[in-house]
Amino acid sequence: MVRFLNGEFVEDGRKAAVSPDDRGFLFGDGAYEVVAFYGGRPFGMEAHFKRFHRSLSELRIDPPDPAELKRLAPEMVRRNGMEGQDCLFYVQCTRGVAPRTHYFPDPSVPPTLYASVSEFNRPIEPGEKGVSISLFPDIRWLRCDVKSINLLPNVLARQQAREAGSEEGVFVRDGVVTEGTHSNLFAVFPDRLSTHPSNQLILSGITRATVLKICSEMGLAVEERAITRRELFDAREVFLAGTTVEIMPVVEIGGRQVDRGRPGEITGRIRRAYLETVGAV
Ligand SMILES: Cc1ncc(COP(=O)(O)O)c(C=O)c1O
């Protein structure tokens, strides 16, 4: 696997080496993005890089030039022999290499820019059959709008979800459903869909934005309002939305069936429209 590190393409990616003094390694001091390529074509690349720029700016890390990233992503796909395939482009930027102290390093220290490409094993079966989710207290910080590489609460919740036989862990803060460990959540009610507003308590997903657009085109009303845990259990349909989960119906929450325990009709329509939009079908 060819990796990219600080301006160099490392042919044998295992040899790409980051200093132990890198702030990403010591503090998780950085941000990242993941862009899906369908049949070799990126989906939402500009939106992802815009969000990357925003995350880094919020962290006061000097962001890379978006034009450079737009060239880098397809170049990495090509160098990894993944043209024409479904794959994932990963990019991360940290505050660079400096002796360990909480203060920012000297402004002359360049950020570390790293990128890789991996196969995208699309979640086709779970997307058709639906998955179960487990709920967890949202113990994350209050800047979830920043796509930080600090993912400890997400890692712990997803592992606990797996141990409980669920596909995804979904966070609940103060009785309100926020989002999944790596996805946003939508609930379908008889007269509208609901999803958490785009604020500092969630990562505003590119997939979420795509779903909002699809719903508006389909004439489906969506309310950006946080729903309570109790309302979630009353929803007709529930689904997850994210770059790697795509649109994934939720058929069980903490062992309780959603409606009749089958993917819902609205979810199916949105999923089909999404897969068409991204060029998966
Ligand atoms: C916490 C969280 N929420 C939502 C999402 C979905 O975002 P996107 O649709 O841009 O992939 C992700 C993606 O990784 C995420 O990590």
Q: Using alpha carbons, list the distances in angstroms from residue 98 to 18, 25, 29, 73.
A: 12, 11, 12, 28
Using the structure block, give the residue that is written with the tokens 């890089």.
Answer: 49
- Report whether residue 153 contacts ligand 1, using a CB cutoff of 6 Å: no
Per the prediction, the chain carries an average pLDDT of: 98
pLDDT of residue 121: 97
CA distance 55 to 89: 17
List the residue whose alpha carbon is closest to atom 12 of ligand 1. Answer: 182
What pLDDT, on the 0 to 100 scale, is given for residue 42? Answer: 98
In the structure encoding, which two tokens stand for residue 215, read together? 């719903």
**Position in ligand 1 atom list of the atom nearest CA 203:** 3
Residue range 3-119, CATH number: 3.30.470.10
Residues 105-160: pLDDT tens digits? Answer: 999 999 999 999 999 999 999 999 999 999 999 999 999 999 999 999 999 999 99
Average pLDDT rounded to a whole number, residues 21-41: 98
Residue 243 Cβ contacting ligand 1 at under 6 Å: yes
pLDDT at 164: 97
**Residue 240 CA, ligand 1 centroid: distance in Å:** 10
Average pLDDT over residues 188-212: 98
pLDDT at 241: 99
Q: Is 242 in the pocket of ligand 1 (CB under 6 A)?
A: yes
Instruction: Provide mean pLDDT across the span 210-231.
Output: 98
Q: Where are the chain's structural domains?
A: 3-119, 124-278
Q: Which atom of ligand 1 is nearest to the CA of 207?
A: 9
Encode pLDDT of 234-281 as tens digits.
Answer: 999 999 999 999 999 999 999 999 989 999 999 999 999 999 999 999
Decide: 206 in ligand 1 pocket, CB within 6 A.
Answer: yes
* pLDDT at site 13: 95
Ligand 1 pocket, mutate which of 186, 201, 203, 278 (most atoms under 8 A from CB): 203
**Could you confirm whether domain 124-278 is CATH 3.20.10.10?**
yes
Cβ-in-10-Å burial (0-12, 13-18, 19+) of 40 comes to middle
Mean pLDDT score, 202-214: 98
- Measured between alpha carbons, how far is 228 from 212 in angstroms, rounded to an integer? 20
Ligand 1 within 6 A of 158 CB?
A: no
pLDDT confidence band for 46 (50 / 70 / 90): very high
pLDDT of residue 109: 98
Q: Which atom of ligand 1 is nearest to the CA of 210?
A: 9
- Hey, whose CA ends up nearest to atom 5 of ligand 1? 183
Over residues 167-179, the mean pLDDT reads 98
Q: What is the pLDDT of residue 254?
A: 96
Cα-to-centroid distance, 168 and ligand 1 (Å): 12
| Catalytic (active site) residue 147 | yes
State the DSSP code for 97.
B
Give nearest CA residue, ligand 1 atom 3.
Answer: 183
C-alpha distance from residue 79 to each of 2, 10, 36, 120 (Å): 7, 10, 16, 16
Q: What pLDDT sits at residue 114?
A: 98
Single out the catalytic residue among 15, 50, 129, 147. Answer: 147
Percent of the chain with pLDDT over 90: 99
DSSP secondary structure string, 180-194? ESSSEEEEEETTEEE
Is residue 179 in contact with ligand 1, taking CB distance under 6 Å? yes
**Residue 182 Cβ < 6 Å to ligand 1:** yes
**pLDDT at residue 142, rounded to an integer:** 98
Whole-number Å distance, alpha carbon 151 to ligand 1 midpoint, is 12
